[in-house]
Amino acid sequence: MSMKRKALSLLSLLTLPMVLAACGNSEGSSNGDGAEGKTEIKITWRNTGENDKMTQYLEETFIPQFEKENEDIKIVLSPITASEGDYFSKVALSMQSESTAPDVVAEDSFMLNSDANAGYLTNLDEYVADWDQWDKYTENLKAGVIAEDGSTYAIPGTSDSRGIWYNKNVFKKAGLPEDWQPTTWGEIIEAAEAIKASDENVIPLGLGVAKANGESVSMQTFQMLLYGTQDTLFDSETRKWQVNTQGIIDSLAFIDEVYNQKQLGPSLSVAINSNYGSVMFQDKFPNDEVGMLLDGFWSAGNWAENGATPVENMTERFGFAAMPTQNGGEPPFTTMSGGWTWAIPEKAQNKEASWRVVQALGGKEQQAARAIAEGNLTVRDDSAEIAEYKEQPFIEQATSFLQYAHFRPADDKYPNVSVEIQTMVEAVATGSKTPEEAASDYAANVTRIVGDDAVN
């Protein structure tokens, strides 16, 4: 599959206005180019820049096939080039009006419940009930598109898992096994200490802690730790936030141990930087300057042939281990899963045509093609059996982690709580607060956000 960038097409995409006029007033109406007599369906997603994989996938793989098979529909690409937080704000704003709402929108699964509660999204219960492909989707991933009211508001577009990337060259120098799998948090610390002892110029362990890096701190760092304890972030049965738990203290204590007590993490100039990810994954890790990184499967895309830092023999150079629970036992491992979804705004004017597009985006071959293009996991069981998909580096390990997957709370207060998590983690990593102090402030702030009756 060609990943060659189309410069002229990118230029036209990035200059598309955010608030395009609505496509039309009725199904099958002549939208845009009246001579064509086609229904225009506008797709909006977050464009990440010059090498945006979604742009490449839609232009080169999806649109040619879809428009050939659906001659009455024309796909109009309307990406938003923005930071993650700005994207959420701009999408929400666009969905408030029929004149600006896209027809199909990429929703991060962690914002889905909030946008559904706000009335921005179409309830898809009746759509998926009549869709003969819905049972092909990985069952536990469907939880990520179900809102607080129990209804489905999107279909999964990508999935992911998280674990510990480790550098085999660094491990070998430190006397650690190349086929490494820790069974407790303590064994991670022991490996980091061995790396530090073998070479003081190598960063033993990287954990994302900068509030500037947003949701990744909540999900890749804090919740990967918290769900390895006996506690959870949110009780879905009582619908209460768990703010006074030992698991929170223990998770923060691990971060404190890495960054302060044993100084096993990167310097704060690297850690508290919005470019933390690119510095660690595209520079230091492939250059054998980092031993371990707690992060997602998609990070391997940095080292692919068309990635930012191609590494020819990445499976020989690097490993991807499951994140152990705090003390091992059952379950032995944990991971967080999320990903992007495809939704239809409530104010979209061509919902039946939009649903046809969403169905096509969710097809067996298209799901595999997108996952390969973006370096993510497919959300369909049958797509996972396609040979090209199965040949991806580390795909077997990343997929196996999903059996231990946890998901962010389906509660519209989660985005606000996540900001408090990020603040708490950064405070501990920088040493400005002890784990106990940061946890206490977190409890007070979350209580203020959700109310006294919604916390334990």
178-189 tens-digit pLDDT: 999 999 999 999
% of residues, the chain, pLDDT over 90: 79
Rounded to an integer, the average pLDDT of 363-390 is: 93
The domain 161-337+408-450 is classified under which CATH number: 3.40.190.10, 3.40.630.190, 1.20.120.80, 3.40.1010.10? 3.40.190.10
Instruction: Assign 164 a pLDDT band (cuts: 50, 70, 90).
Output: very high
In this predicted structure, what is the pLDDT of residue 8? 33
Q: Which of 259-273, 312-326, 405-419 has the lowest mean pLDDT?
A: 405-419
Instruction: Assign 157 a pLDDT band (cuts: 50, 70, 90).
Output: very high
The pTM assigned to this predicted structure is 0.80
Report domain extents, the chain: 39-156+340-375, 161-337+408-450
127-141 tens-digit pLDDT: 999 999 999 998 878
The encoded tokens of residue 151 equal 């209804």
Answer yes or no: is pLDDT of 147 > 80.
yes
In this predicted structure, what is the pLDDT of residue 340? 93
204-223 tens-digit pLDDT: 999 999 999 989 999 999 99
In this predicted structure, what is the pLDDT of residue 122? 98
In this predicted structure, what is the pLDDT of residue 11? 32
Instruction: Assign 355 a pLDDT band (cuts: 50, 70, 90).
Output: very high
Instruction: Assign 16 a pLDDT band (cuts: 50, 70, 90).
Output: very low
Answer yes or no: is pLDDT of 453 > 60.
yes
Instruction: Assign 144 a pLDDT band (cuts: 50, 70, 90).
Output: confident
97-114 tens-digit pLDDT: 999 999 999 999 888 989
- Mean pLDDT for the chain overall: 90
Please write down the long-range contacts of 224-230, taking CB distance under 8 Å and 24 or more positions apart: 224/162, 224/294, 224/323, 224/334, 224/335, 224/336, 225/185, 225/250, 225/251, 225/254, 225/255, 225/326, 226/251, 227/334, 227/336, 227/406, 228/185, 228/323, 228/324, 228/325, 228/326, 228/334, 229/325, 229/326
Per residue, what are the HEC states of the chain?
CCCCCCHHHHHHHHCCCCCCCCCCCCCCCCCCCCCCCCEEEEEECEECCCCCHHHHHHHHHHHHHHHHHCCCEEEEECCEECCHHHHHHHHHHHCCCCCCCCCEEEEEHHHHHHHHHCCCECCCHHHHHCCCCHHHECHHHHHHHECCCCCECCEECCECCEEEEEEHHHHHHCCCCCCCCCCCHHHHHHHHHHHHHHCCCCEEEECCCCHHHCHHHHHHHHHHHHCCCCCCCEECCCCEECCCCHHHHHHHHHHHHHHHHCCCCCCHHHHCCCCHHHHHHHHHCCCCCEEEEEEEHHHHHHHCCCCCCCCCCHHHHEEEECEECCCCCCCCEEEECCCEEEECECCCCCHHHHHHHHHHHCCHHHHHHHHHHHCCECCECCHHHCHHHHCCCCHHHHHHHHHHEECCCCCCCHHHHHHHHHHHHHHHHCCCCCHHHHHHHHHHHHHHHHCHHHEC
CA 359 to mean position of chain CA atoms: 21
Q: Between residues 17 and 105, which one has the greater pLDDT?
A: 105
300-334 tens-digit pLDDT: 989 988 788 999 999 999 999 999 999 999 999 99
% of residues, the chain, pLDDT over 70: 92
Q: Which of 18-27, 85-94, 359-368, 409-418 has the lowest mean pLDDT?
A: 18-27
**CA trace torsion 155, 160, 161, 164 (10° rounding):** -170
In this predicted structure, what is the pLDDT of residue 19? 33
In this predicted structure, what is the pLDDT of residue 389? 94
In this predicted structure, what is the pLDDT of residue 84? 77
In this predicted structure, what is the pLDDT of residue 15? 36
CATH superfamily of the 39-156+340-375 domain: Periplasmic binding protein-like II (3.40.190.10)
In this predicted structure, what is the pLDDT of residue 278? 92
In this predicted structure, what is the pLDDT of residue 373? 87
